[in-house]
Chain A
Amino acid sequence: MAEVIVSPGSVVAPALTWLNVNHHGVFAAIAGFFDFWVSGIAGLLNSFDPAIVIAVLSVGALLIAGWRMGLLTLVGLAVCLCMGMWLATVQTIALVLLAVLLSMAFGIPLGIVISRNKRLQALARPVLDLMQTLPPWVYLVPAVILFGLGTVPALISTIVYGVAPMVRLTILAMTQVPRERIELGRAVGATRFEMLRKIELPSALPTLLVGVNQCILLSLAMVVLAGLVGAGGLGAEVTRGLTRLDFGLGLRASLAIVALAIVMDRVFRGAIPATYMPAKRT
């Protein structure tokens, strides 16, 4: 058998270089946009004393999710503070918040469109399967190539990674809306938009919220992993511990991540009214 050498990379690489050279402005603009928002949110949270921020967030959790969750938020964020990780925690919160919002902004409309069309659904399933099979590390590579090291590739790969569960669960939610309700909508002469807003979305809400919860946890995991490519936040601290062989530092950052993950997951789930909560799923 003759030796064949194939290198798809050397076809793609010049294209990427070309993009980088000739359309640098576009990427710089995207990077600037994301940087603005991340540093904006982080800056806002940093401009107050940590104690005040923790108190405000805890009271917020208390109001939307009950006193247990308020207490949990207080303890969890206090752990982050005691671990000396407050700045990193704030940055991670900003990154996750932005990534989740953008994943929702892309994922939910996309899911709704796909759920309307059987053929699109059949097409989307293998793509979503593929996206969720791939190890998260793979998503970082193209983003780093296009945007260099730093916060922006982290954010973009997190969004791409978080969109898949969001789309999947939106499709599921929309196809599960009971037929009677849609027929009811038709019977009372609702327009398509009214139907979506007043019948389909409320009926789909429980499953949508499960999707958002998954999206939050996956985004957090990805943002942490992105510490390896120079995204700031808690992931960067873990990476610093790893490269300096400072286990104490790495462990402190990891514990802060665990605390943050528990707070985010529980408070979000606690904020959902009990009637909406579908059977526990993993």
Chain B
Amino acid sequence: MSEFTDAFDLHVNDALMWLNDNANTLFEWVRASLDAAFRALDWLFALPPYWLVIAAVFIAGWFAVGRVFAVGAAFGLWLCQAMGLWSETMSTLTLVLSSTLSALLIAIPAGVFIGLTSGLMKTSDVVLDFIQTMPAYIYLLPGIALLGYGPTTAMWATSLVAIPPAMRLTAHGIKMAPVSLRELGAAVGMTRWQTVYKILVPCAFPSMMAGVNQSLMMAFGMVVIAGIVGSGGLGQSVYDAVRMLQIDQSINAGIAIVVLSIVLDRFSQRLVKFDTEKSHG
């Protein structure tokens, strides 16, 4: 038995080394572009002073979500600042948003494509199930080997984890679009592209947004775990604090994570509701 497992380990590690040796330019390129995206966003979020960000969240929250939420979110974010975790909070936000965006760039077109073709749904479900059942932090491992420690590895693993929900729900939304509307498209002589763009995607929009919300929350969970590989941000604060047994620091970082996750969740859930209200009213 151990012969088999040894051989397995050997081959897997060899394959990873081979990739590292032979596709180095590719990974170097991926690393550079992810890094650039991360730096640009990080710079952007670090630019405004904290009170401006809090004010923006307060106003947006007041009008989009609710008064209680706006006050709570503003207070929570102020608390993040007062605990001295503002830059960590912002870089966590950067990581979550940039990873989710890059995941959506893949997930939504792929979801639309799968929704359109009839046979692919089953296969993609199996693949996505597999991706989701694997323990999420295993994806950090090839990331470390190929991309090195740091935010890029966190982004790669986070994007991968964030793809399945958005892709699944996009495909689902496209599949669920009423046949009558598709036929309408055919009847008025739309091209295939127009049918997708003007009929199917708007129909699937609420489902897609539900997917975006789920992807965002998956990404958030992953970013926090990715603190282990030195991604920076709140995850690393918690991890470092726990390792050094600084109980107070780890609790503070934990509170900041809770605040940020609630803010992100409520805002992105609002996306779903916003569209359903619009299409009904």
Contact = CB atoms under 8 A, between A and B. Distances in A.
Contacts of A262: 133
13 contacts: A9-B255, A10-B248, A12-B248, A13-B251, A82-B1, A84-B2, A134-B258, A242-B137, A242-B138, A242-B141, A245-B145, A247-B13, A257-B135
Interface string A10-32: 10110011000000000000000
Interface string A236-277: 001101100111111111100110011000000000000000
Given A7-B83, A82-B1, A248-B9, A133 B137 contact: no
A248 B13 contact: yes
A249 B255 contact: no
State the majority secondary structure of interface residues on B. Answer: helix
Nearest to B4: A82
Interface string B121-145: 0000000001001111110111011
Contacts of B135: 221, 224-225, 227, 234-235, 238, 253-254, 257
Interface in B64-122: 79, 82-84
Contacts of A254: 134-135, 138
Contact of A141 (B141, B142, B228, B250): B250
Interface residues of B, number: 50
B11 interface: yes
Given A247-B13, A250-B141, A6 B79 contact: yes
A5 interface: yes
Contacts of B235: 137
A145 interface: yes
Interface of A: 1, 4-10, 12-13, 16-17, 81-84, 130, 133-138, 141-142, 144-145, 221, 224-225, 227-229, 234-235, 238-239, 241-242, 245-254, 257-258, 261-262
B233 to A, nearest CB: 12
B216 to A, nearest CB: 11
Nearest to B266: A133
B183 to A, nearest CB: 27
Contact of B252 (A1, A9, A84): A9
Given A138-B257, A141-B238, A8 B13 contact: no
A9 B254 CA distance: 9
Interface string B215-258: 00100110011001000000100100010000111111011011
A144 B255 contact: no
Contact of B12 (A13, A228, A247, A261): A247
Contacts of B180: none
A258 B130 contact: yes
A121 B94 CA distance: 36
Contacts of A82: 1, 4
B204 to A, nearest CB: 17
Contacts of B144: 242, 245
B82 A17 contact: no
B251 A246 contact: no
A16 B262 contact: no
B252 A8 contact: yes
B265 A13 contact: no
Nearest to A148: B245
A247 B16 contact: yes
B82 A4 contact: yes
B252 A7 contact: yes
Contacts of B262: 130, 133
Given A9-B249, A9-B250, A135-B221, A252 B258 contact: no
B22 interface: no
